[in-house]
Amino acid sequence: MVNRSTLTIAPDDRYRGNDSSSLPAIDVRPLRIGPLVVDPPILQAPMAGFTNYAYRQVVREYGGVGLQATEMVNARGFVWMESQKAEHPDRLWGVRDEARPLAVQIWDNDPETMAKVGRRLVEEFNVSVVDINFGCPVKQVTERAHSGSYLLKDPPRMHAIISRLVEACHPTPVTAKIRLGCTRKNINACEIARVVEEAGAAALTVHGRTAEEYFRGHADWDRIAEIKSHLKSIPLIGNGDLDSPQKVVHAFAAYGVDGVMIARAALGRPWLFAQAAAALRGEPIPPEPTLEEQKECMMRHFELVVERFGEEKGVQLMRKYACCYAQGKHGARHFRSHVARVSTRQEFFDVVAQYFPTEPDLAGSPQC
């Protein structure tokens, strides 16, 4: 068991507040994932349907993120599309050419298929990291494909997948992303962490919920912290409910993680990474952009999406992002109800001009 006194390093009230002044600097080092140095040690989470090239680009422009990730890509689907000589899935949009470092996340339960796709991603796409999804709780992935979080019940298979992939991708690092376990009664993240490390993974990311919890309740950071002592040398990246620079600093200070990963809170706030990075350095936290600047950011995002997908599909895709940008602001509900119905570029522009919130955030942080 972990020695609690080593964990509660500085649960200082200053880390919990919401003021925009600087926080006391803490000793946070760059994260090492195999040969890759991730600095700052703040990662952008993979999110299916969201973290495509356009989103990654917008995040990159604000800075503050040490490693970005694609949406999860199904390895079997990748192989099938190649056999059909079809285009690569939209989920690999931009991957060949965009800035590094970049992780591509893949999922499946067959070690050979995973190894084949991992090798291709390394050789042809030149990715910085191949990440494996062992956390997805969605039935299509778990019950139908016996993959994602389903594999937390089968450590030997996890070992086989990781070790085969590590061999195929060498020297590019392979990482694993897990949840605490399948159910609250079967939390086995510490055992899984040992398997992940023994199999040769270069880092472990843990979302502090079980699969059955989906996104309910709170991420259990005490459980994340416990895992640290079960890892010999690879870094632990904590994930779950980080929605402010203060919480990011607190995660490092109080839970002893080597890195943090942010998902939902940054969907409509791509500047959150830059704020968190400044906080970690003990520098003044950049203020929230004005609502006008936030709207401009959303429009830039819109143009990137429409450029790739065309007007019809692009507008359809942008509806959900637009809701994220408005989330937590006065009038967000009204905006959402209108933007949900737009289907052309002009309609999108009109609704944004008329209904995008013009008053500051309500109390609390937005969550999509």
Ligand X SMILES: Cc1cc2nc3c(=O)[nH]c(=O)nc-3n(C[C@H](O)[C@H](O)[C@H](O)COP(=O)(O)O)c2cc1C
Residues contributing to the site for ligand X (CB under 6 A): 45-50, 71-72, 105, 133, 135-136, 177, 207, 239-242, 262-265
Q: Is 5 exposed, middle or buried (0-12, 13-18, 19+ CB in 10 A)?
A: exposed
Which of 329, 327, 322, 325 has the alpha carbon at shortest distance from 350? 322
Angle between helices 345-355 and 291-326 (to 10 degrees): 110
Could you please report the per-residue DSSP string of 287-309? PPPPHHHHHHHHHHHHHHHHHHH
Separation of alpha carbons 100 and 65, rounded Å: 11
Smallest separation, CB 108 to ligand X (Å): 13
Separation of alpha carbons 140 and 147, rounded Å: 9
Of residues 101 and 238, the one with the C-beta less far from ligand X: 238
Of residues 200 and 238, the one with the C-beta less far from ligand X: 238
Separation of alpha carbons 117 and 136, rounded Å: 19
Of residues 66 and 240, the one with the C-beta less far from ligand X: 240
Smallest separation, CB 85 to ligand X (Å): 26
Smallest separation, CB 268 to ligand X (Å): 12
Q: Which is it for the CA torsion 190, 186, 138, 113, positive or negative?
A: positive
Smallest separation, CB 83 to ligand X (Å): 24
Do the Cβ atoms of 200 and 175 come closer than 8 Å?
no
HSE, CB side, 13 Å, CA atoms: give it for residue 314: 21
Three-class secondary structure of residue 108 per DSSP: coil
Of residues 65 and 291, the one with the C-beta less far from ligand X: 65
Which of 224, 250, 227 has the alpha carbon at shortest distance from 24? 250
Of residues 103 and 291, the one with the C-beta less far from ligand X: 103
Smallest separation, CB 43 to ligand X (Å): 10
297 is catalytic: no
Where are any strands of DSSP class E within 188-307?
Answer: 203-207, 236-239, 259-262
Smallest separation, CB 208 to ligand X (Å): 8
Catalytic residue, chosen from 136, 182, 323, 368, is: 136
Of residues 250 and 355, the one with the C-beta less far from ligand X: 250
The residues assigned a catalytic role are 136
